[in-house]
Amino acid sequence: MKKIGLIVLFVLALSLAACGSTSNSGNSGSSNNPNTITMGASTFSANTISIPKGSTIAFVDDQTTGAEHILVTGKMGIFQSQPGAPDFGGSNGHTFQPGQAWTTPPLNTPGTYFVTCTIHPTTMNLMVTVTG
């Protein structure tokens, strides 16, 4: 009987490990999202992106080493609350280490929003347009 209990616990542990984590700071350095913005040492792959309402944006730090990025809504490294914009965790922002990726929740409010890196405020500014 003890042997069956151990087997059940082992199978349960394996299944939980296989489920992985749903954390927003995943370590995947790639994305299949067509709306992907990659981050290099101090730049975004684009300065603007236009997406349809209900879409998400994947942010991928494609570095293997280097500086982290802290993304917030706003311009020039300064947090600015923007209703309907991607939520990067308020004024604390969302921190990316090299190789990490994160996907926004669906953006459902048409409008223009701004995303910036607090560490690289002059070179990492992104304009996001959500179309109706």
Within a domain: 11: no
Within a domain: 18: no
Report the C-alpha dihedral over residues 79, 83, 88, 91, rounded to 10 degrees.
30
The residues that bridge with 95 in the sheet, in sequence order, are 70
Tally of domains within the chain: 1
Distance CA 39, CA 121 (A): 13
The residue segments making up the domain with residue 54 are: 24-131
Whose tokens are 């604390």? That residue is 92
Distance CA 30, CA 98 (A): 12
Residue 108 confidence (pLDDT) = 96
Distance CA 66, CA 70 (A): 13
> For the chain, which residues score pLDDT lower than 50?
2-28
